[in-house]
């Protein structure tokens, strides 16, 4: 269905034509002076020159031709603004059509794209920490937004599963349990099905081994050797690696599920490994690999670079490949498997240069053709109240699990105090609210900006927060449950708060489209917040349940249930849900 602003612009265009003017200036926007009008058209000003007339005269001519079924008031104001208010009847009719639309008026994208969203990016066997949080939260939302608009999206977690951490774990295990068959070079039998460690042991081994490698050069050497042997698929090490993967992936799945984040593809750096040798061979043939201090690099600097872009290192002087090599090989694999129109990456902004180099190398070597879009969003840091990257109280890296548990506990206390839900339901409800608090606190910021994690603020039921949106939805649910009437059609607004709510609802398709075009969940956040505000104002100023005129009451119910659907749509795209009570 047509977007509300487009209908208004078309109405203006007709009036421009009828008054004898070029109608390409008839664009209508939401008013930036809500005290004066709801919408405005500023086209008379730029038109004045070619029309050789004062803008105010043009504005007057246009206003005289305007359709008054659409506008209840239209006013030409010096120097040539056209201030507009829409007709209540016209507005409510639009909303009644919007209600019938299963996407609440959001258009589908013109051409459905195939997109790979690379997000999450945890490192296997290292506990998930909040550094990976933003990638998961933003990526999940962007994936949902793309899908909502009709793209075919593959969400790929792209685990770090092939690096030194694996060698460290293997080397440490060898010291602790040298008798395991994995370390027996002549063993040819079947390895045990059961992993020789649990997830907690694994999480203890890695930091221990990592610390040890920093003070024990001999051990560090062993870990490097084990990494190398693993990468060359030494049988016992590879079998151990498979155990590490199984145990870790199960744990990761549980953690991400707690966050309402899920991936279609659980691939990682190890899956890109087989693509590396043929890719390097291709680069060699193309003649784009250059020697530099024994390393092989692709020159990616371009004329007009504002800062120096160093060459992309493909093979180090010791023969090892790097992070960039893996990312390029992963692109080769994705081009083959998914034929994407777009590759979208989400990592923290410290990786901006890495992706710039990788993208340039990918174009230069032709592994990504011109028509395929490459985009990396480098997001800012989640900081503590001291403005520094968020840490635990004792200064350590905060584990994601701990963070979620802390928020959940805090919220649980709050809802128990409110006494709306009983103790049995409280924990489940608290988890739902905690996820909303965390995700909204993150997504409501522009992704590229740093933000401060503030538990009390994020979890507040009032203000610009996730719980406030949930609270609004819960409030509407409760009214609808108590209403003892079904909703009817939305009738014309009879006061300001009703009209404002209707206007906000009518702008939903535009807002959604903007979020899609800019891959920007924060647009949905601000829209949902505005909508929740409009709902609550309407609720406070309208006697809904005690309304005796049945027709009116049904219309109010229709309006708030539309608002509920809209809010639910928004939070679903943001990646969280609402409880029944709170
Ligand atoms: N594992 C990486 C890290 O922890 C993030 C991976 C991001 N994705 C990618 N294709 N490089 O920094």
Which residue's alpha carbon is at the smallest distance from atom 8 of ligand 1? 121
Average pLDDT over residues 463-469: 98
Number of CB atoms found within 10 A of residue 212's CB: 17
- 313 beta partners: 297
Most ligand 1 atoms within 8 A of CB, residue of 138, 340, 351, 381 to mutate: 351
Which residue's alpha carbon is at the smallest distance from atom 6 of ligand 1? 121
Tell me the pLDDT tens digit for each residue of 363-421: 999 999 999 999 999 999 999 999 988 887 777 777 888 899 999 999 999 999 988 88
Three-state DSSP class for residue 194: coil
Identify the pLDDT of residue 518. Answer: 96
Taking the centre of ligand 1 as the mean of its atom positions, its distance from the CA of residue 308, in whole angstroms, is 23
Average pLDDT over residues 420-431: 92
- Least confident residue range of 105-119, 275-289, 393-407, 450-464: 393-407
Which ligand 1 atom lies nearest to the CA of residue 132? 4
Taking the centre of ligand 1 as the mean of its atom positions, its distance from the CA of residue 320, in whole angstroms, is 18
Taking the centre of ligand 1 as the mean of its atom positions, its distance from the CA of residue 344, in whole angstroms, is 12
Taking the centre of ligand 1 as the mean of its atom positions, its distance from the CA of residue 352, in whole angstroms, is 12
Which residue's alpha carbon is at the smallest distance from atom 2 of ligand 1? 121
Which ligand 1 atom lies nearest to the CA of residue 323? 11
Which ligand 1 atom lies nearest to the CA of residue 327? 10
Average pLDDT over residues 109-133: 90
Pick the more confident residue, 51 or 469: 469
Identify the pLDDT of residue 254. Answer: 93
Omega into 74 within 30° of 0, i.e. cis? no
Q: Residue 264: CB partners within 8 Å, gap ≥ 6?
A: 153, 154, 155, 156
d(CA 46, CA 25): 8
Taking the centre of ligand 1 as the mean of its atom positions, its distance from the CA of residue 346, in whole angstroms, is 8
Identify the pLDDT of residue 401. Answer: 86
Identify the pLDDT of residue 250. Answer: 94
Which ligand 1 atom lies nearest to the CA of residue 355? 11
- Token representation of residue 100: 């019938």
Identify the pLDDT of residue 127. Answer: 73
Tell me the pLDDT tens digit for each residue of 536-552: 999 999 999 999 999 99
Lookup result for tokens 């603004």? 81
Counting residues of the chain whose pLDDT is more than 70, the rounded percentage is: 100
Taking the centre of ligand 1 as the mean of its atom positions, its distance from the CA of residue 158, in whole angstroms, is 7
Identify the pLDDT of residue 390. Answer: 86
- Token representation of residue 479: 């009214």
Q: Name the band, by pLDDT with cuts 50, 70 and 90, for residue 206.
A: very high
Which ligand 1 atom lies nearest to the CA of residue 348? 12
Look over the chain and give the mean of its residue pLDDT values, rounded to a whole number.
95
Tell me the pLDDT tens digit for each residue of 81-96: 999 999 999 999 999 9
CA 475-478-483 angle, to 5 degrees, is 125
Taking the centre of ligand 1 as the mean of its atom positions, its distance from the CA of residue 431, in whole angstroms, is 28
**What is the SS3 string spanning 282-328?**
HHHHHCCEEEECCEEEECCCCCCCCCCCCCEEEECCCCCECHHHHHH
Which residue's alpha carbon is at the smallest distance from atom 3 of ligand 1? 121
Ligand 1 site, CB within 6 A: 118, 121, 123, 158, 160, 327, 345, 347
- Token representation of residue 459: 């979890």
């Amino acid at each position: 269905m047509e977007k509300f602003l487009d209908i208004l612009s078309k109405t203006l265009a007709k009036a421009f034509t009828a008054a004898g003017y070029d109608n390409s200036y008839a664009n209508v926007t939401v008013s930036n002076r809500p005290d004066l009008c709801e919408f405005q058209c500023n086209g008379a000003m730029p038109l004045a020159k070619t029309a050789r007339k004062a803008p105010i005269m043009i504005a007057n001519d246009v206003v005289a031709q305007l359709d008054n079924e659409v506008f209840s008031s239209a006013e030409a104001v010096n120097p040539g603004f056209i201030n507009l208010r829409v007709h209540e009847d016209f507005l409510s009719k639009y909303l009644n059509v919007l209600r019938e639309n299963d996407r609440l008026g959001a258009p589908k994208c013109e051409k459905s794209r195939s997109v790979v969203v690379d997000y999450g990016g945890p490192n296997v066997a290292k506990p998930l920490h909040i550094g990976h949080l933003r990638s998961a939260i933003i990526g999940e939302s962007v994936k949902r937004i793309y899908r909502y608009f009709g793209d075919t999206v593959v969400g790929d977690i792209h685990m770090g599963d092939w690096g030194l951490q694996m060698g460290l774990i293997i080397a440490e295990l060898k010291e602790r349990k040298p008798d395991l068959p994995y370390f027996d070079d002549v063993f040819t039998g079947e390895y045990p099905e059961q992993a020789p460690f649990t997830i907690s042991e694994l999480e203890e081994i890695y930091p221990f081994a990592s610390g040890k490698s920093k003070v024990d050069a001999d051990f560090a050497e062993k870990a490097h050797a084990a990494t190398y042997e693993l990468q060359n698929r030494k049988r016992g090490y590879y079998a151990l690696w498979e155990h590490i993967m199984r145990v870790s992936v199960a744990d990761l799945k549980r953690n991400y599920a707690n966050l309402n984040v899920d991936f279609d593809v659980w691939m990682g750096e190890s899956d890109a490994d087989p693509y590396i040798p043929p890719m390097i061979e291709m680069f060699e043939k193309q003649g784009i690999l250059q020697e530099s201090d024994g390393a092989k690099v692709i020159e990616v600097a371009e004329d007009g670079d504002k800062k120096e872009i160093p060459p992309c290192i493909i093979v180090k002087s010791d023969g090892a490949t790097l992070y960039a090599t893996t990312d390029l090989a992963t692109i080769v694999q994705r081009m083959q498997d998914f034929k994407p129109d777009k590759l979208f990456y989400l990592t923290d902004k410290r990786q901006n240069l890495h992706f710039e180099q990788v993208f340039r190398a990918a174009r230069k070597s032709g592994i990504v053709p011109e028509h395929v879009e490459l985009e990396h969003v480098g997001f800012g840091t989640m900081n503590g109240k001291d403005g520094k990257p968020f840490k635990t109280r004792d200064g350590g890296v905060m584990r994601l699990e701990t963070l979620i548990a802390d928020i959940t506990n805090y919220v649980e206390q709050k809802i128990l105090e409110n006494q709306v839900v009983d103790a049995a339901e409280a924990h489940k409800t608290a988890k739902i609210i905690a996820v909303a608090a965390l995700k909204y606190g993150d997504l409501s910021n522009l992704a590229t900006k740093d933000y401060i994690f503030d538990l009390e603020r994020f979890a507040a039921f009032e203000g610009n927060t996730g719980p406030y949106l949930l609270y609004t939805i819960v409030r509407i649910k409760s009214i609808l449950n108590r209403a003892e009437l079904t909703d009817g059609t939305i009738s014309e607004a009879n006061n300001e708060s009703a009209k404002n709510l209707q206007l906000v609802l009518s702008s939903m398709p535009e807002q959604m489209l903007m979020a899609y075009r800019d891959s920007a969940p924060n647009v949905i956040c601000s829209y949902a917040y505005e909508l929740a505000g409009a709902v609550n104002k309407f609720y406070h100023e309208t006697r809904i349940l005690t309304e005796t005129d049945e027709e009116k009451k049904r219309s109010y119910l229709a309006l708030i249930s539309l608002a509920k659907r809209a809010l639910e749509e928004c939070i679903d795209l943001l990646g969280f849900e609402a409880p029944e009570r709170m």
